[in-house]
């Protein structure tokens, strides 16, 4: 009997002036049992590997081939050419189209079933916008291309197991957040969160803590009414449907260990309400997961680190963790 094929993961190399190509080279040097397919410029990958002192064997990607093993240091490449030569640490808006082409190729391949998951290295949002393309991040790009609502969630191992923090809003200015806290959106996002905790993370009855927006969860309306008008009604609606959802909980006490132990995930109202705590607990080894997509996508928990690009200084820990989680969640035999 022939050996089963390896899970096929699409790896996007992110901003070419950043550390993404180096991270992928270091990932390929591990013994992870996966068919790793880098969607990137092959020369960019080869240059990054040389600078980092990594012996990397690149092979042109053939979708018809289904390897059952992968030697360390081997990497298949679905070539996407740079628009202009890239210099480590120096952003160039002319390569914004290259970044978007990588993401589109990965999204289309995952959507068709060609890839079992996507794992993304970091992009630089600013330089894409400087090129004249409105771009707020991977999460929003994949959601728009798939035509679905999604939820950003980061997860990191801690002493008590796993800390999972999902977001009601993502890359919004803080001043725009209150207007985005609406009952219907909260209900939809909490349904996505619960659905993927069940389907992907195999948690049969997820327990979710919902944070308030304002200090002390609004202090009975004295510090804001979002909890009364939007958040509490959303929680009540879902509890009536059988969800184990608690809140609104004041954000300043929600992450106390004794409180966290009661929940499988925390649902924060905005980016910098929940993610600083998670990154303090596991930065460099945490994983960003996009929930609600028709395919699996994981990513690193950090940015492009332009100041580290061009040598052997980038820590691949988060990319390795993101790849391991993608393999774990993609496995049909996971307990």
Give the Cα separation of 123 and 78 in Å (integer).
18
Percent of the chain with pLDDT over 70: 97
Mean pLDDT of 112-122: 97
**What's CA 236's distance to the chain center, in Å?**
29
Which residues participate in the annotated binding site for substrate? 138-139, 279, 288, 297
pLDDT score for 335: 36
Statement: residue 1 has pLDDT above 60: no
Which residues participate in the annotated binding site for a divalent metal cation? 171, 216, 271
pLDDT score for 281: 81
Give the Cα separation of 132 and 110 in Å (integer).
27
Statement: residue 159 has pLDDT above 50: no
Percent of the chain with pLDDT over 90: 89
Give the Cα separation of 278 and 88 in Å (integer).
29
pLDDT band at 80 (very low <50, low <70, confident <90, very high): very high
Statement: residue 74 has pLDDT above 80: yes
Measured torsion, CA atoms of residues 106, 107, 111, 114, in degrees rounded to the nearest 10: 0
The tens digit of pLDDT for each residue in 276-315 reads 998 888 777 889 999 999 999 999 989 999 999 998 999 9
pLDDT band at 4 (very low <50, low <70, confident <90, very high): confident
pLDDT score for 283: 74
User: 3-state SS of 102-136?
Assistant: HHHHHHHHHHHCCCCEEEECCCCHHHHHHCCCCCC
Give the Cα separation of 120 and 97 in Å (integer).
16
Mean pLDDT of the chain: 94
DSSP state of 228: I
The tens digit of pLDDT for each residue in 182-203 reads 999 999 999 999 999 999 999 9
Statement: residue 157 has pLDDT above 80: no
pLDDT score for 152: 95
Which residues participate in the annotated binding site? 138-139, 171, 216, 271, 279, 288, 297
Statement: residue 161 has pLDDT above 90: no
Least confident of 33-47, 53-67, 146-160: 146-160
């Amino acid at each position: 009997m022939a050996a089963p094929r390896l899970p096929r993961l699409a790896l996007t190399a992110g901003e070419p002036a950043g550390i993404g190509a180096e991270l992928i080279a270091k990932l390929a040097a591990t013994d992870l049992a996966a068919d790793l397919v880098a969607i990137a410029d092959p020369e960019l990958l080869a240059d990054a590997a040389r600078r980092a002192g990594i012996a990397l064997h690149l092979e042109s990607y053939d979708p018809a081939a289904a390897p059952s093993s992968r030697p360390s240091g081997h990497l298949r490449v679905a070539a996407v050419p740079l628009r202009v030569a890239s210099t480590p640490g120096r952003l160039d808006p002319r390569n914004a189209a290259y970044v978007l082409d990588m993401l589109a190729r990965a999204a289309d391949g995952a959507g068709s079933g060609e890839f079992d998951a996507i794992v993304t290295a970091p992009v630089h949002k600013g330089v894409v916008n400087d090129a004249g393309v409105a771009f707020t991040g991977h999460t929003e790009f994949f959601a728009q291309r798939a035509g679905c609502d999604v939820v950003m969630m980061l997860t990191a191992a801690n002493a008590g197991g796993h800390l999972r923090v999902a977001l009601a809003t993502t890359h919004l200015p803080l001043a725009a957040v209150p207007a985005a806290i609406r009952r219907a959106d909260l209900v939809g996002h909490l349904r996505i969160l619960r659905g993927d905790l069940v389907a992907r993370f195999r948690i049969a009855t997820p327990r979710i803590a919902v944070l308030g927006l304002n200090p002390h969860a609004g202090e009975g309306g004295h510090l804001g009414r979002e909890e009364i008008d939007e958040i509490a009604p959303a929680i009540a609606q879902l509890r009536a449907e059988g969800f184990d959802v608690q809140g609104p909980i004041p954000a300043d006490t929600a992450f106390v260990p004794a409180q966290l132990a009661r929940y499988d995930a925390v649902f924060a109202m905005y980016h910098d309400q929940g993610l600083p705590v998670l990154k303090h607990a596991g930065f460099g080894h945490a994983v960003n997961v996009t929930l609600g997509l028709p395919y699996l996508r994981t990513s690193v928990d950090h940015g492009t680190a332009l100041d580290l690009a061009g040598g052997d200084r980038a820590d691949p820990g988060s990319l390795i963790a993101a790849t391991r989680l993608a393999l774990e969640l993609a496995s049909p035999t996971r307990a």
